[in-house]
Amino acid sequence: MAAKVPKADVINTLEKRFDYQSARNVFSNWRKSAGFKDDPAELDGSNLSGLADFIEGLGDNTASLAGSLRAAAAKGGGVKEVAVAVAVPSSNEPEPEEQDDPKEDRKDDKKKRKK
């Protein structure tokens, strides 16, 4: 029998990418789209794969999360072990650029006008 993953572990994994409420909304929307009448307490490998497909369909930089869920499904569970990959940013993501402080520009303009 395949290992099952507690719903709490799945939600915690979703929180690596989404905020608290959004993680629960994503899970709830997947549950409804998958046709679950009741909220599952545990998910098996096929459920995790389905959730990964659903999340990947959302776009919005979710490939790492979907990959982690698929890895957990392939291992027969164990979301906690692969969830760390979600929290580690990909090396190919661009670094945020430094932005000039507009307040500093205004201060410089005021100094020039006073002279």
Mean pLDDT in consecutive groups of 10 residues from the start of the chain, 115 residues: 81 92 94 88 89 89 87 70 45 53 63 65
Question: Which uninterrupted H or E stretch holds 1?
Answer: none
Per-residue pLDDT at 25: 95
The structure's pTM equals 0.64
Nearest to 17 by CA among 70, 76, 59: 59
d(CA 13, CA 7): 10
Looking at residue 29, what is its pLDDT? 94
The pLDDT of residue 55: 92
pLDDT for 115 equals 60
CA–CA separation, 111 vs 54, rounded Å?
A: 56
CA distance 23 to 29: 10
pLDDT at 2: 61
